[in-house]
Amino acid sequence: MSRDGSKQGMSTRLTSYGDEGFSLFLRKAFIKGMGYSDDALSRPIIGIANTYSGYNACHGNVPGLIESVKRGVMLAGGLPIDFPTISLHESFSHPTSMYLRNLMAMDTEEMIRAQPMDAVVLIGGCDKTVPAQLMAAASAGTPAIQLVTGPMLAGSHRGTRVGACTDCRRFWSSYRGQEIDDQEIAEVNDKLVPTVGTCSVMGTASTMACLAEALGMMLPGSATAPAVFADRLRFAEQTGTEAVRIALEKITPETIMTQAAFENALRVLLALGGSTNALIHLTAIAGRLGIDIDLAAFDRMSRETPVLIDLKPSGDHYMEDLHHAGGLAALLREIRPLLHTDVITINKRTLGENIDSVPVILNQNVVRSRENPIFGQGGIAVLKGNLAPNGAIIKQSAASARLMKHTGRAVVFTSMEDLVNRIDDPDLDVHADDVLVLQNIGPKGAPGMPEAGLIPIPRKLAIQGVKDMLRISDGRMSGTASGTIVLHVSPEAAHNGPLALVRDGDLIELDVENRVIALKVNDHELDKRRQETPFETPTENVLGYRKMFLEQILQAEEGCDFRFSRPPLTSKVPR
């Protein structure tokens, strides 16, 4: 029992035997088999979601973090108990990690609900893990605090700093363009990931870490500390201590992740030049709390929020540089007039108080002032038009200025397989001014909306030195990638979207300034094609998780969550 007489710790969430006294007796008998005393078992219990996996280098430091979290919990008088959940690494998730994000969210949510814990520390890091954990926390309603594994350090290749995964893509594209040879590509493969931890640029993992801090679900300063720094372990210890406090004070996720907190997170996403994936993830997390993210209002926000972080892929630096420059607080301070600074965060202080508590680092060149931005508007722009009636997005801060207003001839690939088979065909009819279109890589179509939106430049053009082309798909793109890439076209091709109607030679217009993405084909012809392109969701002969996925998955603007996991939407952000 807690001090106020309510049930806590071991007495909660008992297994159903029809006799609660027996359920508790049996539970304690079993756990005592691991050597616990009655004193230990009478404490508030802090669950720790253990996402260590031998397949996940981004979580390679989790064992050390758990040890530090446990120390913090015990210093505050709680009992820490770690438990395993699914762990997802981007490069070890077939067909794509997004296919598994909701499974991890369900696993985490149900294990929080199933086991006795008064609060939970969620240790995530790699791209889909933090979103899955925050979705789970929002649904489970148990006091929760996020901890991330932290970014890896940058490496060095022939005297140049390199890091996953912007430089992975850069070197691979140079290799495809025959600018570097077999020996150099093998050499750099050893240098791109020099330590454990998450990707060292402002990719999805770094973006989500910053957004978790901006949302108030993670301790101030903890988004950027590298995975191998002592700072990271100290944040873990402090997280354990805070977890005991939020358990005793019953601070639940919905009291932190409010409408105002999501507005702050959207602002930060734009000012970071952050990953486009994060918009889908924020939409999914907010949706779990009945909050809708309004894409049109988000776009208006984008027009007044400059990109200030000089990190790859929009800029030049790496996450460790942002940490040395003062971490996320340095950015929050710059955009302070655009934030709700009175929101309460997980450490019981307001966002404004947290910003004030971090020393200002002078003479740093990673976080720009609003007068001297990396890019004058937010990193992401929302597009609309007859090709994407429900919206599409472009990471305008990482696109080519010359292609921001462009009309070109479509070169269409109908699937991933079609792309792989033909993209490097020397006879492919393609020119540098064409628009590469990839259909059927959306949430249902692929399925799982893989990060294949960064369609490779056809080899024959890459060899001629072509570095960027306008590319359009209903898929996603890694947060570490750059180029003039239109993503998340909705509805997707496999959900009756107009993208399915594009044919080779059609003209497509992109006008980012006016937020237009248009297929220049008349309505009569599109109707005719619609009759010839029957929509079909292949759920027959499909079983298990895949069947549930295909039947339940929502489109990008709804966060690609499962329909049955979203309560009715009762409010909107930005307001």
Q: Which residues bind ligand FES (CB under 6 A)?
A: 58, 89-90, 126-127, 164-165, 198-199, 203, 205
Neighbours of 26 (CB within 10 A): 14
Min dist CB 164 to ligand FES, Å, is 6
Q: Which is nearer to ligand FES, 203 or 326 (CB)?
A: 203
The tokens describing 178, both together, are: 């025959």
- B/e letters for 542-566, b = 16+ CB within 10 Å, e = fewer, are eeeeeebbbeebbbbbbbbbbeebb
Helix (H, G, I), strand (E, B), or coil: what is residue 199?
coil
Give the HSE-up count for residue 204: Cα atoms under 13 Å, Cβ half-sphere: 27
Q: Which is nearer to ligand FES, 59 or 566 (CB)?
A: 59
Neighbours of 158 (CB within 10 A): 9
| Selection from 120, 143, 122, 152 nearest residue 46 by Cα | 120
Min dist CB 93 to ligand FES, Å, is 10
Q: Which is nearer to ligand FES, 281 or 368 (CB)?
A: 281
Min dist CB 316 to ligand FES, Å, is 19
- Residue with tokens 């358990």, as numbered in its chain: 247
H or E segment to which residue 436 belongs? strand 435-438
Min dist CB 150 to ligand FES, Å, is 10
Q: Which is nearer to ligand FES, 90 or 213 (CB)?
A: 90
Cβ within 8 Å of residue 186, ≥6 positions away: none
Task: Please check whether residue 63 is in contact with residue 232, taking contact to mean a CB–CB distance below 8 angstroms.
Answer: no
Give the phi and the psi of residue 49 in degrees, each rounded to 5: -75, 110
Taking the alpha carbons of 46, 52, 57, 63 in that order, is the dihedral positive or negative?
positive
H or E segment to which residue 106 belongs? helix 97-114
- Residue with tokens 């292949």, as numbered in its chain: 538
Helix (H, G, I), strand (E, B), or coil: what is residue 442?
coil
| Cα pseudo-dihedral 43, 45, 46, 51, rounded to 10 | 130
Q: Which is nearer to ligand FES, 203 or 221 (CB)?
A: 203
Q: Which is nearer to ligand FES, 205 or 381 (CB)?
A: 205
Min dist CB 365 to ligand FES, Å, is 25
Q: Which is nearer to ligand FES, 126 or 381 (CB)?
A: 126
Q: Which is nearer to ligand FES, 53 or 239 (CB)?
A: 53
Q: Which is nearer to ligand FES, 58 or 380 (CB)?
A: 58
Give the phi and the psi of residue 407 in degrees, each rounded to 5: -125, 130
Min dist CB 398 to ligand FES, Å, is 16
Min dist CB 543 to ligand FES, Å, is 30
Q: How far is CA 416 from CA 200, 471, 475, in A?
A: 28, 14, 10
Residue type, 550: L
Q: Which is nearer to ligand FES, 272 or 517 (CB)?
A: 272
Min dist CB 191 to ligand FES, Å, is 16
Taking the alpha carbons of 504, 507, 510, 515 in that order, is the dihedral positive or negative?
negative
Pairing, β 155-157 against β 160-162? antiparallel
Min dist CB 88 to ligand FES, Å, is 9
The tokens describing 44, both together, are: 């508030």
Q: Which is nearer to ligand FES, 169 or 368 (CB)?
A: 169
Min dist CB 207 to ligand FES, Å, is 10
Min dist CB 165 to ligand FES, Å, is 6
Neighbours of 20 (CB within 10 A): 13
